[in-house]
Structures are given as structure tokens and as C-alpha cells.
Amino acid sequence: MVIRGGRPLSGRVEVSGAKNAALPAIVASLLVDEPVVIENAPKLRDVETQLALVEALGKTARWEGNTILIRGEVSSVEAPGEVVSRMRASFLCLGPLLARFGEAHVPLPGGCVIGARPVDLHLEGLRRLGAEVEVREGVVHARGKLHGGEVWLRYPSVGATEQLLLAGAVIREPVEVVNPAREPEVVDLARLLSAMGAEISFSEDRITIQGGKLKGTGHAVIPDRIEAGTYLLAGAITGGEVEVVGARPEHLTALLAKLEECGVELAAGQRTVRLKARAPWSGVEVETSPYPGFPTDLQPQFTSFLALARGRSVIWERVFESRFGHVGELLRMGARITLQGQAILIEGVEGLRGAEVVATDIRAGAALVLAGLAAHGETRIEGVDHLRRGYENMEGKLAQLGAKAWVEELNGT
């Protein structure tokens, strides 16, 4: 992606459906043979990968606009390594296949290179529900008739919580997940599973799922809070004025509070957030944590924003142990940042300059896009594939805000 930066963005941009809500929703289709219709799905690479997964397991999937129609019977309980290695969220098929058919064979997942990202909590959880789990040559082999029970997560992992919700939806006894993740995407999955016929309730420290005979259903996924946050930060870092339409402010409270602390003007409506920023903004201290804390998926983008803040900032990355792929690249653009263990120490600078940089994962790529929009001169970001995994029509949306950003394909167009 090539960006000619240095101009304030202004205008309105509409947020797409949440990638991280669409991915488990697609896997939920494996729980039934009846059709499942997913509305407001974002058209992006990771969603295509998840559809390739359920198709490899016997389903057919068809797009109509932003709606996906998934139908057909499950014909295999063996997930292809070629798909699972591309994306971590495809590992979510383990629980539903196992719970429904009594066995599942799923390779250990790939995905973004942001720390070790083990799946021990997923496997321990399924073992607690009666699964026999073996890992041989990189493939998880799970067998057994699952029963109800209480699963305590020592960390509120999003993926492990979703894995257990998906499995619990067909177990005829209550499954209790203690210390679960409470991200809006987890709640959205629970809403879908409830519409399919499971009984799910949230209390202070747990989620209880009573599974049953499920049926197909339709479900509209929630707006993407990380995409919304990315465009808000694009407005902020360029000292611009933008409105993100379709965003749910209640899903963005940690980001909005930090932006206000920096001195950015915000106005939140029911389904929209408007922002007006003027340099210089103040530096702040931020710590990522599970929802409703500051999302790790906005940490790289916020790093870019703070690179241009007045004074010092500190970001503590508490969710992943090495999510700093953007930092070295921001240094090449003139940022003053040092890494100290899990902390990023930022000394604000007055301007960034365009450079040739490399995106190492989805959100690191987004951080470089934001830096490029604010920088003087031209920024060339290699690794657009990462952006395509997580952002629907990013060039188009940036253009709506007046950015000069385009993608040069390898053939030079």
C-alpha cells in the first residue's frame, strides 16, 4: 500500500461487521444440518478462510452481498491442515465437531505471529467435559461423549470461551465456564447459539450453557469495534474530523476514554462516534487487558497515535507477550520508542516521515497505515495481505475520508 500522508482526514466512514464475531458464527453452522444465515459479514480474507474450512467439512457457503448462506450436512470430522495453519480461529471447529459427533481431528493452529498463543486452555476445557485428547505430529485428536461440568479458565481466553460455548451448545447437561472472556464477540456468539436453541446465561463470574437440539437460524453480526477504533485513530492521528457510522460506542469505552484523556474531542451517538483532533495531543499511560479493558487489537494503532503525542507515553501489553512487530517499523518513520519487557515507552515527536516498511500482522499493518497517513512524504507498506485479512475495503474507506492511499499490485498497477 502506498500512502501520501500529511493531510487531515475528514468525512464519514461506515463500519463493517466484526471479523471476530463472524468467524465463530461460521463455525457454529457445524452444529446443525439446517441452514445458518449470517448477515452483516465482512468480506475479507479471514472470513473466506473460515468458509473454506466449513466447506472442507461438508458445508456449502454462498455470499449474497454481505450475507452468507451456509447449508448442507457435515461429512467429515477432520479439519484440513492447509486451512487451519492459515488462521487460528479455524481451531474453533474442534469443540463443536467433537461434541456433536464424538470425535474430531484438527491440526494445531497458525495465524498472526503475536506471541506463543497456545491452545492449552481449549484442550483442558474439553478434557474437563470428558474428551480424550491427544496431540500427535501437530494434530489434535479428540474423542469421547462429552458431559456437563464446570470449567475454570485461569485466563479469560476469548478462543477458549468460544470453544466451550460451541461445544456446550449440544451437550444436554449444563456446562459452566468460570472466569470466561466477556468480549462483545463472545456475547454475540452466545446470542447466535441462543437463537439456535441453546440456553445461555451470564452471571458475575461465569457463563452457563444448557445445550439441546439445535436448529438453523439467521444472525446479524455486531459492528467491528476494532475497525471502528482504527478509523477513529486515523482521524485522530491526522488531526482530522471523522465520523464512524455504525460503531457502538458502548463497545469502545476504553479507547474513547483514552482519546479524551489525550485531549481529542468526541461525540458519541447511539450508533455513531464523531471525533475531532488537533495536534498536539497529550501522552498517556495505557494498559491492554481483557474486555472491557483497552483492547490489545488496538494497541499497535494507538502506539502510532502516541508516537505523535506531546511528552511521554507508556503502553503495557498484558494480553500477548510479544505484540511489537510495529515498533521497529515506526522507528524507521522517525518515532522514538523503546521496548522494555512488556512495555512500550514512547517519547512523542513532532512529525513522522514516510518510509518503506513491512506489515507483520493485521493490526501492526493498520498501525503503519495510520503512521503513513500522518507522515510527511510517501510510505510504502509491504504485506498488504495482512490488511486484507482483517479490513474490508480499506483503501475505499480511507479514500472516503480523503486519504491518498492505494494498493500497487505486483504487476505495477
Least separation in angstroms between residue 89's CB and ligand UD1 is: 4
93 is catalytic: no
| Among 370, 374, 380, residue whose Cα is nearest residue 300 | 370
Q: What are phi and psi of 166, to 5 degrees?
A: -65, -40
The nearer residue to ligand UD1, 298 or 375, going by C-beta atoms, is 298
Annotated catalytic residue, options 74, 112, 200, 247: 112
CA 110, chain centre distance (Å)? 15
Q: Assess 89 for contact with ligand UD1 (CB under 6 A).
A: yes
Do 244 and 288 contact (CB within 8 A), yes or no?
no
Cell numbers for 315: 503502553
List the interface residues with ligand UD1, window 115-154 (CB under 6 A): 115-122
Do 151 and 178 contact (CB within 8 A), yes or no?
yes
Cell numbers for 118: 497456545
Residue 350 makes CB contacts below 8 A (sequence gap 6+) with: 280, 308
Interface pick for ligand UD1 out of 159, 223, 235, 239 (rule CB under 6 A)? 159
The nearer residue to ligand UD1, 274 or 389, going by C-beta atoms, is 389
The CA distance from 49 to 36, in Å, is: 17
Q: Assess 297 for contact with ligand UD1 (CB under 6 A).
A: yes
The nearer residue to ligand UD1, 120 or 385, going by C-beta atoms, is 120
Binding mask 248-287 for ligand UD1 (x = CB under 6 A): ----------------------------------------
Q: Assess 157 for contact with ligand UD1 (CB under 6 A).
A: yes
The CA distance from 278 to 240, in Å, is: 7
Residue 359 makes CB contacts below 8 A (sequence gap 6+) with: 329, 365, 368, 381, 382, 383, 384, 386, 387
Least separation in angstroms between residue 244's CB and ligand UD1 is: 19
List the interface residues with ligand UD1, window 185-224 (CB under 6 A): 185
| Among 249, 288, 287, residue whose Cα is nearest residue 266 | 249
Least separation in angstroms between residue 160's CB and ligand UD1 is: 5
Interface pick for ligand UD1 out of 160, 255, 366, 368 (rule CB under 6 A)? 160
**Taking the CB of residue 268, how many other CB atoms lie within 10 A of it?**
16
The nearer residue to ligand UD1, 93 or 352, going by C-beta atoms, is 93
Q: Which residues pair with 207 in a beta bridge?
A: 177, 202
Do 71 and 59 contact (CB within 8 A), yes or no?
yes
The CA distance from 130 to 327, in Å, is: 43
Q: Assess 296 for contact with ligand UD1 (CB under 6 A).
A: yes
Q: Nearest-5° angle of CA 45, CA 48, CA 50? A: 115
Q: Assess 410 for contact with ligand UD1 (CB under 6 A).
A: no
Q: Assess 408 for contact with ligand UD1 (CB under 6 A).
A: no
Q: List Cα–Cα distances, 368 to 9, 300, 311, in angstroms.
A: 16, 9, 21
Binding mask 47-76 for ligand UD1 (x = CB under 6 A): ------------------------------
Listed ranges 114-122, 132-140, 204-212, 335-343: which one lies at the site for ligand UD1 (CB under 6 A): 114-122
Q: Assess 20 for contact with ligand UD1 (CB under 6 A).
A: yes
Q: How many residues bind ligand UD1 (CB under 6 A)?
A: 23
Residue nearest to ligand UD1 (CB): 159
Q: Assess 304 for contact with ligand UD1 (CB under 6 A).
A: no
The CA distance from 84 to 344, in Å, is: 32
Pseudo-torsion of CA 41, 161, 184, 219, nearest 10°? 40
Listed ranges 76-84, 109-117, 374-382, 403-411: which one lies at the site for ligand UD1 (CB under 6 A): 109-117
The nearer residue to ligand UD1, 63 or 155, going by C-beta atoms, is 155
The residues that are catalytic are 112
Contacts to ligand UD1 by CB under 6 A: 20, 23, 88-89, 115-122, 155, 157-160, 181, 185, 296-297, 319-320
